[in-house]
Amino acid sequence: MNRVAFLCQKISDDLERLCLFGAGVLLIVNLFAVMLGVFARFYRPPMWTMDLAKVTLVWTVMLGAAPALKRGEHMAITILVDKLPQSLHRFVVAARVVVFFGILLFMLILGVKYAWNMRLFTIMSLNIKQTIPLMAIPVGMGLMLIEYTLSQFIPFGTHRNDSSCGNDVDGEKQP
């Protein structure tokens, strides 16, 4: 493996660990918020538990999306692509890469725009701006974009899971 691929693999692994750590911490916070809301229901439930649970759940999912992409755990339907002739197969795989980059970039830009537009609104029970939970979308899409870009430079067979986002079964790059 050359230096660029090695560096991309290291950055990808570090990013995966960071995302999973953050998602794990937020999942624990989410669990405690929900449990507090359930058990305090019989006395005086804090108003903020449901809002905190919603915010942490959104961030948990978006932080976990990049490691899921790296490991190949996102759903993909390849039955038609696998039956295509080799030349057409390569074209479709290349088109898939471009379309996937485009969708991630589009969601990143729209997510930032939407979060910016909602900056004046506040979640009253948490006393935080609505931008904080909404930034989970562009952050998650950005992390997926980084992970997907890095995977394009990592040769097939060097991922922990060969069905990951970097390469197709026959060595072609895939989303």
Residue 26's pLDDT band (cuts 50, 70, 90) = very high
**Position 166 pLDDT exceeds 80:** no
CA quadruple 29, 31, 33, 36: dihedral positive or negative? negative
The structure's pTM equals 0.82
Q: What one-character DSSP code corresponds to residue 155?
A: P
Query: Cα–chain-centroid distance for residue 59?
Result: 10
Residue 84's pLDDT band (cuts 50, 70, 90) = confident
pLDDT at 175: 47
10 Å Cβ neighbour count for 165? Answer: 29
**Position 104 pLDDT exceeds 90:** yes
pLDDT at 157: 64
Residue 22's pLDDT band (cuts 50, 70, 90) = very high
pLDDT at 80: 82
Cβ burial 49-73 (10 Å sphere, 16+ → b, else e): bebbbebbbbbbebbbbbbbbbbbe
Q: CA-based angle 168:170:175, to the nearest 5? A: 10
Residue 43's pLDDT band (cuts 50, 70, 90) = confident
